[in-house]
Amino acid sequence: MNKNFEQLMKYIEKEMAFQAALTLFEWDAETLAPEDSMAYTSKTIGILSNEYFINLINDDVKKLIHKLSEEKEQTGLDFNQKAIVKDIKKSIEQLEFIPPEEYRAYSELTAKASGIWSKAKQKKCFADFLPALDEIISYQKKFAGYRAKKGIKPYDILLNDFEEGFNMEKLDEFFGKIKEAVIPLLKEVTKRRDSIDKTYNHRHYDIEKQKEFCRYISGYVGFDFNRGVIAESAHPFTTNLHNHDVRITNHFHEDNLESAIFSIIHESGHGIYEMHIDDAITQTPVGTGTSMGMHESQSRFFENVIGRSEAFWKPLFPRLKETFPEQLNDVSLEHFIKGINKATPGLIRTEADELSYPLHVIIRYEIEKMIFAGKIKTKDLPEVWNKKYKEYMGIEPMDDSNGVLQDIHWAGGSFGYFPSYAIGSAIAAQIYYHMCSVMPIEKYLTEGNLTPIREYLNNHIHKYGKTKNTNEILKDMMDEELNADYYVRYLEEKYNKLYELNP
Amino acid sequence: MNKNFEQLMKYIEKEMAFQAALTLFEWDAETLAPEDSMAYTSKTIGILSNEYFINLINDDVKKLIHKLSEEKEQTGLDFNQKAIVKDIKKSIEQLEFIPPEEYRAYSELTAKASGIWSKAKQKKCFADFLPALDEIISYQKKFAGYRAKKGIKPYDILLNDFEEGFNMEKLDEFFGKIKEAVIPLLKEVTKRRDSIDKTYNHRHYDIEKQKEFCRYISGYVGFDFNRGVIAESAHPFTTNLHNHDVRITNHFHEDNLESAIFSIIHESGHGIYEMHIDDAITQTPVGTGTSMGMHESQSRFFENVIGRSEAFWKPLFPRLKETFPEQLNDVSLEHFIKGINKATPGLIRTEADELSYPLHVIIRYEIEKMIFAGKIKTKDLPEVWNKKYKEYMGIEPMDDSNGVLQDIHWAGGSFGYFPSYAIGSAIAAQIYYHMCSVMPIEKYLTEGNLTPIREYLNNHIHKYGKTKNTNEILKDMMDEELNADYYVRYLEEKYNKLYELNP
């Protein structure tokens, strides 16, 4: 074995242990931790983050990485090991210019900020969150500034962190295409909103029965309960300690059947990705999904591309009707499929239909660009937010909780993250058209046999973890990089058909 | 501030963060983690344990502690800080002679062993657990051997770890007194077992209703849900990250009303202790209960001494009857009090009545003594176990799961721990007689006003954490150290009255 790599692995093993601990604290805070605990637990998180930091950012590791980055020093390294070296190098570049005490203070700040955000959201009061948000943004700007190479803008640095090779120039073009197609299409669809009746979705649905059905459907799409669990949290999410410990959450509403069902399919998609990372790379830095965008492509492929199709529900709908016989008595499969795909401009991103969804993302992207370009004062965020909703979707939030405060991301310091959601949808559509050309997806779905579909994703995407980036995975899979045209085509085909529009 | 202490605190803060992370992993494993996860997570736990170890056991810390242990170097240290120095000194003495790689291997072993034990218990097969147990015992013997000073026996070292100042000589005397009183008393009581009818306890009790009542009663005795949570696990337990994050678990059986109720009062007692540790010492090594024995005294004080009294149930019983009107229709308060105190020799320690309870502990204590004296082969444990149950209680386990495999402690390497349970019961009785002399406990209970009782415990025990040891706390509270006579008196008074015996 390569001696330098062996030495590096000692640091990496520690790094992964600290990361697992931090992940567990985060999971715990979202699902279970007592309300008053965070003021104290944030200290623990700060210390562990600091350990994480100094274990990676030190002269020993830098020297090792410096050596191992040269080709002549890579003797004996296999494909995975080379990917690990590359990934650690990237992480070091992200962190090395940040003073450790600032990193620790920032970690404690974001650990506390989720609680502050959550209370502000409950009180529908953006002003309560503003001081924390200002502090986080100022750290983010400072951190990006430390790393800024000549001519590279801070927000581009953040975008590249979440999706390698992406920047504002590329995303402006990407979102430009989508905006151009979606805004007029959504307007057309909105005119015909009454053609689809969805009142059935808001009847009374017993929560225990919802839980049972959601657990069933999670296993049905492939979530493995021997290496995963489902819990509850205000906002559904997925996390993982390694490929044998993958955790998803769900939420339930008595007067909304869809919300829990599609949330669980979505999170199961994320979970399936993490569960199928190769054993050889789990518990290493490359043992996780390659990017947020690719992750979202998997969750959205399951949730939307197949999960809202008629073929998918053909074998499942009878069971759903059995679970809720009274509530769904007058609802046919055809009616149900129209209902779950109905597009209605709404205020909440996580509850949005597929068509208006990208507009929610675009609004956040445009606002983040303004923040990092210094073109907006944070205290004006609610106003700008509300204006954009009015402009793109014709609706306006009645309060901050349904507007600028709805998402947790900024409280965690995740700027540059939101575009991943749209990138994910676009990849999902692109993968779908590709997979249709190599297997009879619809037939499999109708037969209730998801195994070949899942295995194809396992073998072409999941198992590689971060050893390949998004565009490398797509190229190896279908000889083409990300292309927004497929996404536009997907939305147009779907909604033209659903609303019987003639384009 | 004292410069050396300031330097020491940097290590201590890290130490507490590692400990909190390890505690969270343990909590998670018992309550939620997926079945297949531990094979991988144990690696993380091993690494964090190693960090915990080397952060404490290193020349820097040793030098600092060495200096700070001298009186002339303690300038500027307050009472709490001196206690921290003393406690760290003790921890170093426990660990310093163990080679780090052995400590890590041992941590990984015990992380895995709980799973092995749990499966063996399910299969009722001691042989499946034997290899892991042998390994754990051999580590324990080796570790105790490293620390053994001339003339001190390994098991005495372990006993002293759990309760400062205790050893076999003292415990032989302590348990001798108890055995002498309890074995004949239990025989008498067993003859009259039919005088108390308890069939009501095994009617069908809806689990959701049990949960609701248990949550209520936990808050009633003083568990604070802003800084604590209740979850479920196979075996109820309490853990904590700090005084604002205290976690208890419970378990439920449809055909047993008492089990969940008294488990939750018991764990709430532990929880109340941890919640009232002083803010000034939480997240330091002395910011937790002073010993297992003192901890058990608090849980047992709530569960048994007050929790099984008529005065306690007077204001509560109507609510219990309202919760289960059909099941408890024919049960009067008087009947219920007799039922919850009925003594019947049984096989399971955690479900034992107060009278037979110490015998369960004595059996384990005697077996552990034999193990560490090399007087027994581990493969013979089931046989020896069963013989002792026959001898002391007149009953014999039908399988290992109801016998030698019932407790998790040995899987976690906790040898020398079991006596704490009996010490706890004894302290609880002693505290009770003392408190009766300073306040009208029965009146408070009847009024449903537990505040003065809890506050007295807070002010005389809880807030001090580990800054005083068990006997120091007792002496400051009532001018007397631990004395088994109170416990014997308590059991005799209680059971003579309950079964109308004439001693």
The tens digit of pLDDT for each residue in A173-227 reads 999 999 999 999 999 999 998 999 999 999 999 999 999 999 999 999 999 999 9
* Alpha carbon distance B118, B116 (integer Å): 5
Pairwise CA distance, residues B318 & B315, whole Å: 7
If one counts every other C-beta atom within 10 angstroms of the C-beta of residue B56, the result is 22
pLDDT of the residue at B115 = 87
Question: Mean pLDDT of all residues in chain A?
Answer: 95
Distance from CA of A229 to the nearest CA of B (A): 6
| Local confidence band at A361 (pLDDT 50, 70, 90 cut-offs) | very high
Q: What is the pLDDT of residues A140-166, one digit of tens each?
A: 999 998 987 778 899 999 999 999 999
Say which of B24, B40, B283 has its CB closest to residue A40. Answer: B283
- B242 contacts chain A (CB < 8 A): yes
This model's pTM is above 0.80: yes
Q: Are residues B244 and A44, on separate chains, in Cβ contact within 8 Å?
A: no
User: What percent of chain A shows pLDDT beyond 70?
Assistant: 100
Which residues of chain B are modeled with pLDDT < 50?
none
In three state form, how does the secondary structure of B415-440 look? CCCCHHHHHHHHHHHHHHHHHHHHCC
Q: At what angle do helices B168-191 and B357-372 cross, to 10 degrees?
A: 140
Maximum distance among all alpha carbons in chain A? 70
Of B21, B226, B245, the CB nearest to A40: B245
Look at the alpha carbons of B364, B369, B375, B378 in this order and tell me if their dihedral is positive or negative.
positive
A20, A37, A243 member nearest B227 (Cβ)? A37
What is the four-CA torsion angle of A316, A320, A322, A323, rounded to 10 degrees? 140
Q: Which helix (H) or strand (E) holds A87?
A: helix A79-95
Most A CBs within 10 A among B241, B246, B281, hence the mutation to make, goes to: B241
A468 touches chain B (CB under 8 A): no
**DSSP 3-state of A480:** coil
Question: By the CB < 8 Å criterion, does A9 face chain B?
Answer: no
Mean of all residue pLDDT scores within chain B: 95
CA-based torsion, A185, A187, A193, A195: positive or negative: negative
Tens of pLDDT, residues A56-97: 999 999 999 999 999 899 999 999 999 999 999 999 998 889
A450: tokens are 């998801």
Whether chain A has a CB inside 8 Å of the CB on B356: the answer is no
Single out the catalytic residue among B26, B163, B258, B267: B267
Q: How far is B19 from chain A (nearest CA, A)?
A: 9
> From B49, which residue of chain A is nearest by alpha-carbon distance?
A17
Q: Do A17 and B48 touch (CB under 8 A)?
A: yes
Instruction: Please state whether A377 falls in left (phi above 0), alpha (psi between -120 and 50) or beta.
Output: beta
Task: Look at residue B7 in the predicted model and tell me its pLDDT.
Answer: 97
Distance from the Cα of B138 to chain A's closest Cα (Å) equals: 27
- State the greatest distance between any 2 C-alpha atoms of chain B, in Å, as a whole number: 70
Closest chain B CA to residue A245: B37
Per-residue model confidence (pLDDT) at position B1: 79
For an interface test with B, the pick among A9, A23, A25, A241 (most B C-beta atoms closer than 10 Å) comes out as A241
3-state secondary structure of B352: coil
pLDDT digits (tens, 9 = 90+) for A371-414: 999 999 999 999 999 999 999 999 999 999 999 999 999 999 99
Give the angle subtended at the CA of B119 by the CAs of B114 and B124, to the nearest 5°.
Answer: 120
pLDDT at A370: 97
Q: How far, rounded to the nearest angstrom, does the alpha carbon of residue A12 sit from its chain's CA centroid?
A: 25
pLDDT over 70 at A503, yes or no: no
* Nearest residue, CB atoms, B21 vs list A34, A48, A245: A48
Alpha carbons A437 and A454: distance in angstroms, whole number: 16
Inter-chain CB pairs, A–B, below 8 Å = 116
Which of these, A463, A465, A454, A459, lies nearest to A477 by C-alpha position?
A459
The reply to whether B54 touches chain A by the CB within 8 Å rule is no
A245/B40 touch (CB, cutoff 8 Å), yes or no? yes
Whether pLDDT at A278 is above 70: yes
Taking an 8 Å cut-off on Cβ atoms, the answer to whether B245 and A13 are in contact is no
Q: How far apart are CA B270 and CA B240, in angstroms?
A: 10
Whether B229 contacts chain A with CB within 8 A: yes
Is B383 annotated in the active site? no
Per-residue tokens: B339: 């039922």
Of the candidates B295, B290, B335, B298, the one whose C-alpha atom is nearest the C-alpha of residue B313 is B335
Q: What is the average pLDDT across A314-339?
A: 97
- φ/ψ (deg, to 5) at A308: -110, 15
pLDDT given at position B502: 77
Can you read off the two tokens belonging to residue B283?
Answer: 């997240």
Q: What is the pLDDT of residue A148?
A: 79
